[in-house]
Amino acid sequence: MGSKVPALKWEWPAGRPVETKLLVQVRSISKASKGFLGIGASPSFADSLPDATDIVASVVAGPSALVGSTVSLRVPGAEVKSLVQDRFAALGLVSDNTICTCIAEAPTNNLADAQTWLRDKACAR
């Protein structure tokens, strides 16, 4: 099976175009731990995200070096409200595939249709 890819970092697009698009199958969606006494949720932390949610997904389409890998990502809850476990989604990456700036639920769970959607429409902000 695939290898583990280091965790991606979430950032809002800030006008940056997506460099790489991945089609992933969502494996798990869970609220992020706030740590001991909730200290990790403090807005004073630079990495603090509103309603932080952890996503783990398997890469099913994209650059061959990433296909078959598992990615993990912590995102603001509002960005992933429509994601469903075991369904397809797109991730838009920048900065040598280390930062995710776009997450979109695929409109289908048919692999061929989801790949077409990824190529033509996903993460096209």
What predicted TM-score, i.e. pTM, was given to this entire model? Answer: 0.84
Residue 105 phi, psi dihedral angles, 5° rounding: -75, 135
State pLDDT tens for residues 102-116.
Answer: 999 999 999 999 999
In the beta sheet, which residues pair with residue 72? 56
Grade residue 4 by pLDDT with cuts at 50, 70 and 90: low
Residue type, 77: G
pLDDT for the residue numbered 44: 43
Domains of the chain: 9-120 (2.40.50)
Strand positions, DSSP E, 67-113:
70-76, 88-94, 99-105
Quick: pLDDT tens for 31-88: 986 555 445 444 444 456 778 999 999 999 999 999 999 999 999 988 888 899 999 9
In whole angstroms, what is the distance from residue 25 CA to residue 118 CA?
13
Q: Would you say residue 93 has pLDDT above 60?
A: yes
